[in-house]
Amino acid sequence: MPARLFLSSGDLLADRRFEFARDLQLKGDLAAAADLLEQATELAPNFATAWFTLGEIRQALGANDAAIEAFRRARAADATDRHGAGLWLMRLGAEPVSGMPSGYVQALFDQYAPRFEAALVDDLDYRGPALLFKAVLSVRHAAKKPCFFRRAIDLGCGTGLAATAFAKEVDHFIGIDLSPRMIEQARAGGLYAELELEDMVQGLRRRPDASADLILAADAMVYVSDLAPVLAEAARVLVPGGLFAFTAETHDGDDVMVGAGLRYAHSPACVRDAVATATLAMPYLEVASARNESDLPVPGLVVVAAKA
């Protein structure tokens, strides 16, 4: 996180304790790190980063009630919740699953943008765009239609990995992303005719009825708790016969949960219900992992929904 401007000796002392605590955390001495962070938050009660880090450490130590308290203090100290304390509260069962804080998503990807492709492709073996391309090709082949689309919308476009996979099959690509720095990276790639700085639902709402042949969301629905609004807008924006192809992370339980990576995992039944509610058909649903975490495939789904 960026360095803070401190206005008092107490803040300076809190900052030093925080830095020492982070060093101890990296060395694996979590109990000592937690003690220093507790001192830092006593000196600077609104030190959101210290509260959030204390919450993570307490959770790792198995002190969930104390972790919940720290995450609540972190969120109270930062109304935008850039650290994602609210997601931890959902994951720990302290609050019901709800939407992801936009401040967290924007901060995450603004920070991530310069190294996004290298980290995702090289470190996490990301294969979402390739899986979507295979799925869309399969659906079009089964329908005896060419795999070419006049206008496509890439939701959560990032740097443009999905557009790269589909570039030869799309005449006019529109990218939508919440992160200004991701939009900068996407613009530099030159694959998009239009780029919009907006969240997915709002970006779709700006689009006319029946104005897109294809909508993609590669590794983007994992930041959406309730799939229904996105699918409803996609159904409105798609032309008859248009496709909405997306990846999702999944789990064996019911409904939606916040996973270990602070991303939403949707059950297959949850996905089916959301697609049906949007009055879309689902010609393609495959169990497939779009990325790895800790060198293991993350359970996932590849979905193609179609407008009649």
Does some domain include residue 118? yes
Listed residues 67, 96, 125: the one ending a domain: 96
Does some domain include residue 79? yes
Q: Are residues 83 and 168 in the same domain?
A: no
Question: For position 125, which CATH number holds?
Answer: 3.40.50.150
Nearest to 155 by CA among 229, 266, 261, 251: 229
Q: Are residues 190 and 269 in the same domain?
A: yes
Q: Answer yes or no: are the C-beta atoms of 216 and 154 closer than 8 Å.
A: yes
Listed residues 31, 64, 96: the one ending a domain: 96
Does some domain include residue 104? no
Q: What does the pLDDT read at residue 186?
A: 96
For residue 278, what is the DSSP state?
Answer: T
Nearest to 308 by CA among 276, 285, 268, 271: 276
Q: Are residues 74 and 155 in the same domain?
A: no
Nearest to 135 by CA among 300, 308, 4: 300
Q: Are residues 188 and 273 in the same domain?
A: yes
Question: For position 67, which CATH number holds?
Answer: 1.25.40.10
Q: Are residues 154 and 296 in the same domain?
A: yes
> What is residue 101's three-state secondary structure?
coil
Structure token pair of residue 39: 């001192």
| pTM of the model as a whole | 0.92
Q: CA dist 101 to 71, 92, 263, 278, Å?
A: 14, 17, 12, 24
Q: Is 220 left (phi over 0), alpha (psi -120 to 50) or beta?
A: alpha
Number of independent structural domains in the chain: 2
Q: Are residues 82 and 212 in the same domain?
A: no
Can you tell me the distance from the alpha carbon of 47 to that of 44, in angstroms, rounded to the nearest whole number? 6
> What is residue 3's three-state secondary structure?
coil
Per-residue pLDDT of the chain (308 residues; tens, 9 = 90+): 444 444 456 688 999 999 999 999 999 999 999 999 999 999 999 999 999 999 999 999 999 999 999 999 999 999 999 999 999 999 999 999 999 998 999 999 998 788 877 778 778 899 999 999 999 999 999 999 999 999 999 999 999 999 999 999 999 999 999 999 999 999 999 999 999 999 999 999 999 999 999 999 999 999 999 999 999 999 999 999 999 999 999 999 999 999 989 999 999 999 999 999 999 999 999 999 999 998 899 999 999 999 99
Does some domain include residue 107? no
Cβ neighbours, 10 Å, residue 307:
21
Does some domain include residue 39? yes
Residue with tokens 């997306």: 246
Q: Are residues 151 and 246 in the same domain?
A: yes
Domain containing residue 30: 9-96
Can you tell me the distance from the alpha carbon of 35 to that of 20, in angstroms, rounded to the nearest whole number? 11
Does some domain include residue 3? no
Listed residues 64, 96, 128: the one ending a domain: 96
Q: Which helix (H) or strand (E) holds 41?
A: helix 30-43
* Size of the chain in residues: 308
